[in-house]
Structure 1
Amino acid sequence: MDRSRARADELRKVVAQAVANDPITFNDGFLGKDVKEYCSWIQQKDKWGGAIELFILSQHYGREIAAFDVQTKRCDVYGQDKGYEERALLMYDGLHYDAMAVAAFEGAPEELDVTMFRPGGREGEAIMAAAEKLVAATHAARLFTDTANFSLRCAVCQIGLKGEKEAVEHAKATGHSNFAEY
């Protein structure tokens, strides 16, 4: 949105403040944890957000955020009911969200990339179609992580685990938190 990779800490604070300021919308049940606990959690550099944070950031910037999930090829558009005039694109690989951009021309410097566009009209439709095609190709190449079924190994005790659920259970039971995919 700001064409900067250096604003993560500031944006984490924006999200925490939005949650703290609206405990009706962002209640413990919605967040899956206590509001104060969530606000502390989201401000940690090693934690990653998802739908809640995209919803808040869409409102913060007054722009739609279209997030494509590579595994399912589904696209969720945050803020689409708000009448925002611009849209940004993200691709989710099962672990991380990455910004999508349209190169101004082949070999163009990154600062010329188009990262925001108007979703309506021929140009917007063409950009969305190109994004869908990229997501389909990424899916076909299996460039995503299936967090429910991937194989992990605990780096502490070397036990094999299947999926995020087993890793979380193992971490709670043992205190181990260093896992690697294999």
Structure 2
Amino acid sequence: MEGIIARRVIPSDNSCLFNAVGYVMDHDKTKAPELRQVIAATVASDPAKYSQAFLGKINEEYCAWILDSEKWGGAIELAILADYYEREIAAYDIQTTRCDLYGQDRKYAERVMLIYDGLHYDALVMSPFEGAPEEFDQTIFAVQKDRTIGAVESLALNFARDQQRKRSFTDTANFTLRCGVCQIGVVGQKEAVEHAQATGHVNFQEYR
């Protein structure tokens, strides 16, 4: 196996999770509207499984919420998309270098990889060489008998560790943000959420 692990940057438009999944599954960075529909349909079809306790919202409310292009996805959405595509989704967290694996209990035969910096998801791919065009990216990897993807797995973990060393992540407990609407400064995700709930402002920029 020749090549390097590369991070394919997905636009920061609140749909990065969906477009990152679209890229690793279908080489398409514009699938967010379609994948939001898939998630809403899945959740609506099984209100017993996708209850208020599970979603943190009433089922119908959640379905309307996830269809809003301004809303972010997370673990619930990744688990649903792993089942939709019948492939494992590995999400590497740069700050902790932890890998969260979705769909592993289903024993799917293939896996794709994402990388998460605390706020944003990008795609992780195998590229034949530094600077190779994206059409050469390998994004789907066979899961072996030991439930790993072989050497690619250690390369991906090393890549996440390297990003951590470079501090290529956002510490969401302690990062500083400025509200783009009223210019007030907040610290951490908790304060940002509280400010957003109080004012309806959701346009934050990180600053140091």
* TM-score, normalised via structure 2 length: 0.82
Secondary structure of 2:106's match?
A: coil
Question: 1:72 aligned to 2:76?
Answer: no
Cα distance between partner residues in 1 of 2:93 and 2:151 = 19
Cα distance between partner residues in 1 of 2:177 and 2:132 = 39
Match of 2:70 among 38, 42, 46: 46
Question: 1:15 aligned to 2:39?
Answer: yes
Cα distance between partner residues in 2 of 1:104 and 1:154 = 41
Q: What's the CA shift for 1:40?
A: 1.0
Question: 1:159 aligned to 2:207?
Answer: no
Question: Which structure is richer in relative contact order (CA contacts within 8 A, separation 6 or more)?
Answer: 2
**What is the aligned-residue identity percentage?**
57
Deviating more after overlay: 112-121 vs 53-62? 112-121
Q: What's the CA shift for 1:126?
A: 0.7
In structure 1, give the amino acid aligned to 2:53.
G
64 and 149 in structure 1: CA distance in 2 versus 1, 3 angstrom threshold: same
In structure 2, give the amino acid aligned to 1:44.
D
Alignment check: 8 A CA contact 2:108 2:143 kept: no
Match of 2:48 among 24, 36, 39: 24
Secondary structure of 2:105's match?
A: coil
Partner of 2:112: 88
Secondary structure of 2:115's match?
A: strand
- Where does structure 1 lack aligned partners over 5 or more consecutive residues? none
Partner of 1:97: 121
Partner of 2:155: 130
In structure 1, give the amino acid aligned to 2:60.
K
Match of 1:4 among 23, 28, 40: 28
Partner of 2:142: 118
* TM-score, normalised via structure 1 length: 0.92
Deviating more after overlay: 103-112 vs 116-125? 116-125
Cα distance between partner residues in 2 of 1:64 and 1:178 = 32
Cα distance between partner residues in 1 of 2:125 and 2:200 = 40
Partner of 1:141: 166
Secondary structure of 1:39's match?
A: helix
Deviating more after overlay: 25-34 vs 127-136? 25-34
Question: 1:59 aligned to 2:83?
Answer: yes
